[in-house]
Amino acid sequence: MTHLDILSKLATKTDSKIVLLVMDGVGGIHTAERPETELELARIPNLNRLAKEGCCGRSMPVSYAITPGSGPGHLSLFGYDPLEPAYDIGRGVLEALGIDFKLEKSDIAARGNFCDVNAEGIITNRRAGRLPTDECIKLCKELQDSLPEMDGVKVFIMPVKEYRFALVLRGAGLSPAIADTDPQKEGFTPKDIEATEDTPAARRTVAILKKIAALYYKILKPRKTANSILLRGFSSHPGMPTFQELYKLTPAAIATYPLYRGVATLAGMDILKTGTEIADEFKTLEENWAKYDFFFMHIKKTDSYGEDGNSAGRIKVIEETDGQIPRLLALKPDVIAVAGDHSTPPPMKAHSWHPVPFLLRGKFCDADDVEAFTEGACNHGRLGMFPARAIMEMLLACAGKLQKYGA
Amino acid sequence: MTHLDILSKLATKTDSKIVLLVMDGVGGIHTAERPETELELARIPNLNRLAKEGCCGRSMPVSYAITPGSGPGHLSLFGYDPLEPAYDIGRGVLEALGIDFKLEKSDIAARGNFCDVNAEGIITNRRAGRLPTDECIKLCKELQDSLPEMDGVKVFIMPVKEYRFALVLRGAGLSPAIADTDPQKEGFTPKDIEATEDTPAARRTVAILKKIAALYYKILKPRKTANSILLRGFSSHPGMPTFQELYKLTPAAIATYPLYRGVATLAGMDILKTGTEIADEFKTLEENWAKYDFFFMHIKKTDSYGEDGNSAGRIKVIEETDGQIPRLLALKPDVIAVAGDHSTPPPMKAHSWHPVPFLLRGKFCDADDVEAFTEGACNHGRLGMFPARAIMEMLLACAGKLQKYGA
């Protein structure tokens, strides 16, 4: 039995309510130049109170020293093993989710680049000189209008940012087993569209994609820049079991960025409309409190400022989040967890592998002697360093939603 | 995907350099009679400095309480799961590697005992009364000269120590699927040579081994002692993926004992010629610094003195190693790890299952508050107790050699 098989067998519906507050990339590191992390520098009386009342540790998103992308990082928080091929979210799907596209189970999605090719068709710039986003929007509209459908299959081409777009095919009998046309290097021509397996669905998808690409190439050819396209990461909805099926939860997600709403959708969560500020997210929580028994709340900017190396910005976001905690406590959730999907240490200006501070607070959580929500304090917590995919299990148990295993 | 599949997918070649310093059996235990370990008693300012600048923990070689031999202990340090059958190094192969024999991929190796049998052929002493090594050398030479080849297969019979020898067959179409002839008990005759699977290669190997054994039995029969042989652990090169293939490293090994050079060879490391002293090993490191990006350095005598129950000797070796650390630091490695393949607590005079103190020091290692390289201090390190096979992953990540997993 897999980990999730056991949980789905033991989970029961109860009235208790869980809030999983994810501060994206919240983990930091200690370096000689910056001996204190933002969590250590910030004034966070409310988070510290939760740490004191709860039990703490540090969660590993994927493995001891694997740096996760946002997809695997969140899968793990939601209990899915990100190394399981069944839960592998393809690049195309992520791109579509990242623009709030409502992906259906049978859709095929690809990530696209507008690129530059020379007269011989050889790629001279894979990103069309970082095409401005406005131009990308205009081009996608032109291509979309030129071809809304092909052989009974709906075609969606949608701008993402700069040179990036998402392409989605919607129809029956399609397959994501399509190779990248992007050679990942300049000096080559885009590859032909080819299937990676020999099935009727893959052959049909190749035939349709060839017609679409031929038309796009023709329309773009006269242009000086962004005069061709590259496609990669063909993929479809991973169709993983939902929170309802696995955990008997009625889950909702509150997130200001589309990618996280997208991953939450895959897990079966209702997406709640919210504003752009942290306070808006807590307002949304209050307004929807009665309707759900599980809330995933996502704070984005801890990660964004980490990627920028901006410690001051990160401290501000952490303090701002801390300031909202009393609103959360006022709702009297049975279980609160504060977690991160990975670390984004400002000295590294990137996601990293370092385990993430974690706290769990609930009636029977077994409070340890950690009194602060910081990396250093959480190192000494009762939970030690543990796989992030155990978090859902802890939340359910602490909320009284898991039955005994065996007699 | 296995752990190594993921690492091989994410590993990239860079200029950064890693040193993995293994102090064999370095872990100790606290007992009522000896409340302090050798690491706690030794004066080790340099190792303590590394612990202070790095992050620490205790590594489990195989599992929570499995005592590893040297083979599994090192496989685990090198990232291979020692419980995977694919990485099972047979007893015969270990014996051949332990005498610096250059094992080829298709060789079949067995471990041999000279033994005593009576007139009825029944074993009266499995170890020929612990035959002196000189006698073993003489006997092996006699048998080797009597039969350098059989049916186109090269035969190597080589002394190990006391009653022990290694037998290697070299030729095409051989199989290691041969049962032990050693009944592991006195009062029985040596077993016939038999295959454990029915394949042409196994049948051919049996036929050849029967002829070899018949000749050896005939030559030894007139002797009073050491008048027969027992064979066991038939095995061949495990053919595991190398450090180059898995980790994109250019690795070298510096070790004073043949067994460790042998295991390093299996992992694809270049074996560097060195002297017998610890200082010689650091000199070898200096001389070869430019040529490699990964160095495995092996200090043997922490283990030997542990097996002898000699705390004073162990303290001396630990301090001697500590005294060489400044030479290592002067080379400015990007990442240094100090580890052990297992514990060898002097109170037990044997290998043990206890997790091994571990430290990792590099730019983004995330220093914790451990300030000494001791068992007690490492218990409180950020890494906690973790599987030793995660060490290579940590070294690669810390050296900036692992890409992000997923988008």
CB < 8 Å to A65, chain B: 390, 393-394, 396-398, 402
- Mean pLDDT estimate for chain B: 96
10-residue mean pLDDT series, chain A (407 residues): 91 98 98 95 98 98 96 96 89 90 94 96 93 96 96 96 95 96 93 96 97 96 96 93 97 94 94 96 98 98 96 98 98 98 97 98 96 97 96 98 94
Whether A89 and B404 lie within 8 Å, measured CB to CB: no
What is the distance in angstroms between the Cα of B218 and the nearest Cα belonging to chain A? 57
A254, A319, A338: which is closest to A59 by C-alpha?
Answer: A338
Do B393 and A63 count as a contact with CB atoms less than 8 A apart?
A: yes
In whole angstroms, give the CA distance from residue B371 to residue B369.
6
* Cβ pair A84, A156 in contact under 8 A: no
Q: Which CATH superfamily is domain B3-86+240-398 in?
A: Alkaline Phosphatase, subunit A (3.40.720.10)
CA of A61: which chain B residue's CA is closest? B405
From B366, B369, B384, residue closest to A354, measured CB to CB = B366
Are A66 and B390 inside 8 Å of each other by CB?
no
Of B121, B111, B63, B66, nearest to B90 (Cα)?
Answer: B111
State the average pLDDT over residues B188-204.
Answer: 97
Identify which of A271, A324, A277 has the alpha carbon closest to the alpha carbon of residue A295: A271
**Short-list B29, B70, B36, B39, CA closest to B318:** B39
CA angle at residue A58 from A55 to A64, to 5 degrees? 150
pLDDT band at B153 (very low <50, low <70, confident <90, very high): very high
CATH architecture of A3-88+241-398: 3-Layer(aba) Sandwich (3.40)
- Give the closest of B364, B382, B404 to A69, CB-based: B404
Instruction: List the single residue in A with minimal CA-CA distance to B10.
Output: A66
Sign of the Cα torsion A155, A165, A271, A402 reads: positive
The backbone torsions φ and ψ at residue B233, rounded to the nearest 5 degrees and listed phi first, read: 65, 40
* CB burial readout B351-389, b (16+ within 10 A) else e: bbbbbbbbbbbbebbbbbebebbbbebbebbbbbbbbbb
Whether B239 shows a pLDDT value over 80: the answer reads: yes
Q: Which two tokens stand for residue B129?
A: 């009364």
Backbone torsions φ then ψ of A168, nearest 5 degrees: -130, 135
Number of Cβ within 10 Å of residue A225's Cβ equals: 16
Look at residue A227 in the predicted model and tell me its pLDDT: 97
How are beta strands A153-161 and A18-23 bridged, if at all? unpaired
> By three-state DSSP, how is residue A150 classified?
strand
Query: H or E stretch including A270?
Result: strand A270-271
B283 in Cβ contact with B5 (< 8 Å): no
The alpha-carbon gap from A387 to the nearest alpha carbon of chain B, in Å, equals 12
Cβ distance of B368 and A376 shorter than 8 Å? yes
Mutate to test the interface with B, among A29, A64, A259 (most CBs of B within 10 A): A64
Quick one: pLDDT at residue B86? 87
The residues, ordered by sequence, that sit 6+ positions from A119 with a Cβ below 8 Å of its Cβ are none
- Percent of chain B scoring above 90 in pLDDT: 94
Contact flag B368-A379 (C-beta cutoff 8 Å): yes
Report chain B residues whose CB lies below 8 A from the CB of A62.
405
Place of tokens 């706290």: A359
Give the distance from residue B48's alpha carbon to the nearest chain A alpha carbon, in angstroms. 16
Cβ partners under 8 Å of residue A339, min gap 6 = A20, A21, A22, A23, A26, A59, A77, A356, A358, A359, A388, A391
Query: Do residue A68 and residue B398 have CB atoms under 8 angstroms apart?
Result: no
Chain B residues close to A376, C-beta within 8 Å: 368-369
pTM of the model: 0.91
Task: Say which of A72, A348, A380 has its CB closest to residue B406.
Answer: A72
pLDDT at residue A3 in the model: 87
Residue B402 and residue A67: Cβ atoms within 8 Å? yes
- On whether the CB atoms of residues A405 and A6 are closer than 8 A, the answer is yes
> Contact A29/B396, CB-based, under 8 Å?
no
Beta pairing, strands B228-236 & B108-117: antiparallel
B393/A91 CB distance under 8 A:
no
How many alpha carbons fall within 13 Å on the CB side of residue B183? 15
Please indicate whether, in this complex, the C-beta atoms of A345 and B363 are within 8 angstroms of each other.
no
The residue in chain A having the minimum alpha-carbon distance to the alpha carbon of residue B406 is: A69
- Spell out the residues 6+ positions from residue B85 whose beta carbon is closer than 8 angstroms to its own: none
Chain B residues bordering chain A (beta-carbon distance below 8 Å) = 1, 3, 6, 10, 53, 363-364, 366-369, 380-386, 390, 393-394, 396-398, 402-407
The domain spans of chain B are 3-86+240-398, 93-236
- Right CATH number for A93-235 from 3.30.160, 3.30.70, 1.10.10, 3.40.50? 3.30.70
- A144 close to A195: Cβ distance less than 8 angstroms: no
| CA separation for the pair A277, B311 (Å, rounded) | 62
- When CB atoms are compared, the residue of B363, B367, B397 closest to A65 is B397
CB-closest option in B366, B382, B405 to A62: B405
pLDDT digits (tens, 9 = 90+) for B376-404: 999 999 999 999 999 999 999 999 999 99
- Spell out the residues 6+ positions from residue B352 whose beta carbon is closer than 8 angstroms to its own: B27, B29, B67, B342, B343, B344, B345
Nearest CA in chain A to B56: A379
Calculate how close chain B gets to A152, using CA atoms only, in Å: 32
pLDDT range class, residue B353, cuts 50, 70, 90 = very high
Residues A12-50 as b/e (b if ≥16 CB within 10 A, e otherwise) read eeeebbbbbbbbbbbbbbbbeebeebbbbbbebebbbbb
Which chain B residue is nearest to residue A29, measuring alpha carbons? B366
Is the pLDDT at B88 greater than 90? The verdict is no
At A132, list the tokens.
């401005």
Chain B residue numbers with beta carbons less than 8 Å from the beta carbon of A379 are 368-369, 381-382
- Alpha-carbon span A383 to A358, nearest angstrom: 9
pLDDT of residue A184: 87
- The residue-averaged pLDDT of B175-202 equals 96
pLDDT at A130: 86
CB contact under 8 A, A66 and B386: no
* Helix, strand, or coil (residue A99): coil
Lowest mean pLDDT among A107-116, A367-376, B85-94, B226-235: B85-94
Cα–Cα distance for residue pair A315/A49, rounded to 1 Å? 18
| DSSP symbol at A107 | -
Q: What is the average pLDDT across B231-240? A: 94
Q: At what angle do helices A311-330 and A301-308 cross, to 10 degrees?
A: 170
Q: Which of B3, B369, B394 sits opposite A376 (nearest CB)?
A: B369
Q: Which of A71, A345, A355 lies nearest to residue B406, judging by beta carbons?
A: A71
Which among A130, A119, A111 is positioned nearest to A226, based on CA atoms?
A130
Shortest CA gap B380–chain A (Å): 7
Point out the residue among A69, A345, A355 whose CB comes nearest to the CB of B407: A69
Candidates A40, A56, A63, A351, partner chain B, best to mutate (most B CBs within 10 A): A63
Label residue B262 left, alpha or beta by phi (over 0 means left) and psi (-120 to 50 means alpha).
Answer: alpha
Using an 8 Å CB-CB cutoff, list chain A residues near B396. Answer: 65
Partners of B3 on chain A (C-beta within 8 Å) are: 63
Query: Using alpha carbons only, how large is chain A's radius of gyration in Å?
Result: 23
pLDDT digits (tens, 9 = 90+) for B29-39: 999 999 999 99
* CATH of span B93-236: 3.30.70
Residue B111 in contact with residue B168, Cβ under 8 Å?
no
Q: Which of A245-248's residues contact partners 24+ apart within 8 Å by CB, and which partners?
A: A245/A8, A246/A4, A246/A7, A246/A8, A246/A11, A246/A79, A247/A7, A247/A8, A247/A11, A247/A79, A247/A294, A247/A392, A247/A396, A247/A401, A248/A11, A248/A12, A248/A13, A248/A401
Residues of A in contact with B378 (CB under 8 A): none
Contact A127, A292 (CB under 8 A): no
Q: Give B80→chain A minimum CA distance, Å.
A: 15
Tell me the C-alpha to C-alpha distance, in Å, between residue B12 and each of A69, B5, B124, B243, B380: 17, 14, 57, 12, 32
CB distance A166 to A96 below 8 Å: yes
Chain B neighbors of A88, CB-CB under 8 A:
406
Q: Which of B58, B364, B379, B380 to mutate to test the interface with A (most CBs of A within 10 A)?
A: B364
Interface contact flag, A31 B396, Cβ < 8 Å: no
